[in-house]
Structure 1
């Protein structure tokens, strides 16, 4: 899966501090759920396929660990002003995941926990001004460093579901699901291979809509709850729990 996050925002000093605090708390909670879920695997189950074609659960866990380190690189870039890309190259990233996936369940867990802790420490060491510094993602998109927290949150929740163990999209807290949906929709909205869509999502205490301006002239209207909508947009589940005539979507990857 590509490391992608989108999202915009302008904050006052107090607003930025609240945003950072809330997102750090969200990442911390998601990581706790991830570690608890992954701890329930064993040497046999960790070798079983994940929801990602060609990847076992051990591949997913290794990717999550390396992504934490990649996010640390971006925070270091923001803090020092010295360029630190997420990965040396796509080949290096893929090779590290492939090699790491062969490790024992215990070593996978130790790596996951240690890398997650490194990211938590890196985030804690950022000053307010550091969070507004711009950094570049692997695909070239430029974001303020505060959005690295959104990137990590998306990666943890989506790949936690990809473990196909004991968590699915309906288990994601509503506030987190709304943020992840916003980033997924913004990414899809900028792709020429995505059909025009009007989405409406029921978050319980409020509804929210998005328009994806695709290549077709008449947008399809699709509505539903956050979990099924996320699963469908990300290609992990079908549109069976959604309402409307859901079109076929291109791959998220």
Structure 2
């Protein structure tokens, strides 16, 4: 997809998050989420602060002055904790307002600035326009993390097509030392035919499933339902997701 088309997808995704949050009671918001140690309020606060952090990267690209995604990991964590205890209405308003601000910044980004290099908090570089795709992963994955009835089965098909393909390509490009348990595996999306060979050799183990099932498993948002392993056995635990985008490692200047 063209990155500008994804902005509308983000707006729709955040509206779905807002609707989910509006259906939660105060007790639900303080209840556990799909992320260990975080309440649903923590997840909602993170969704909002992530929009702000990616706005920072676009602002840096626009002005030509590097702006870090977050001032520090400690500041990131403190801001999430500070926001987690807000009321439902405050969290909903925060999630909506920060997405609107990010979308406005992305839609108005000049073409020259869109190609400017920015840097993720993890350290890897990418062109500014890729922040829109990074935000897409954040919106859909963290909606599932609210553990409030929305999961991989509900992810929009355009998101699944993009993220499943990107996830397989990026996983296949990870250094062997980062593959962990899936090392030696071949993973195949049965609907698209896309594969990731993780040091696989003929006769080695293979995992297969739809792109949706694979994305749920590899992103840690499902237990691997719909993914089949040959020979039979427990699915390996994938490395932390999302992975560094492999396409930019091969391009000059990145």
Question: TM-score band (shorter)?
Answer: 0.7 to 0.9
Partner of 1:200: 188
Higher relative contact order at CA 8 Å, sep ≥6: structure 1 or structure 2? 1
Give the 3-state SS of the residue equivalent to 1:211 in structure 2: strand
Which residue of 164, 181, 195 maps to 1:210?
Answer: 195
Which residue of 34, 43, 46 maps to 1:51?
Answer: 34
Give the 3-state SS of the residue equivalent to 1:129 in structure 2: helix
Give the 3-state SS of the residue equivalent to 2:193 in structure 1: strand
State the 1:136 CA deviation: 0.5
Q: Does 1:226 align with 2:226?
A: no
TM-score between the two structures when normalised by the length of structure 2? 0.84
1:7-156 superposed matches below 5 A? 19-156=2-139
User: Which runs of 5 or more residues in structure 1 are unaligned?
Assistant: 1-17
Q: Single out whichever of 89-98 and 182-191 deviates more from structure 2.
A: 182-191
Are the equivalent residues in 2 in contact too, given 1:62–1:100 (CA < 8 A)? yes
State the 1:250 CA deviation: 4.0
Give the 3-state SS of the residue equivalent to 1:193 in structure 2: helix
Are the equivalent residues in 2 in contact too, given 1:196–1:211 (CA < 8 A)? no
Q: Does 1:160 align with 2:143?
A: yes
User: Which runs of 5 or more residues in structure 2 are unaligned?
Assistant: 242-254
State the 1:248 CA deviation: 1.2
Going from structure 1 to structure 2, the CA distance change for 1:77 and 1:220 (only over 3 Å counts) comes to farther
Partner of 2:249: none
Give the 3-state SS of the residue equivalent to 2:2 in structure 1: helix
Partner of 1:8: none
Give the 3-state SS of the residue equivalent to 1:199 in structure 2: strand
Partner of 2:224: 239
2:212 and 2:98 map into 1 onto residues whose CA distance is 27
Are the equivalent residues in 2 in contact too, given 1:198–1:209 (CA < 8 A)? no
2:166 and 2:43 map into 1 onto residues whose CA distance is 21
State the 1:197 CA deviation: 3.0
2:77 and 2:84 map into 1 onto residues whose CA distance is 11
Partner of 1:13: none
State the 1:240 CA deviation: 3.7
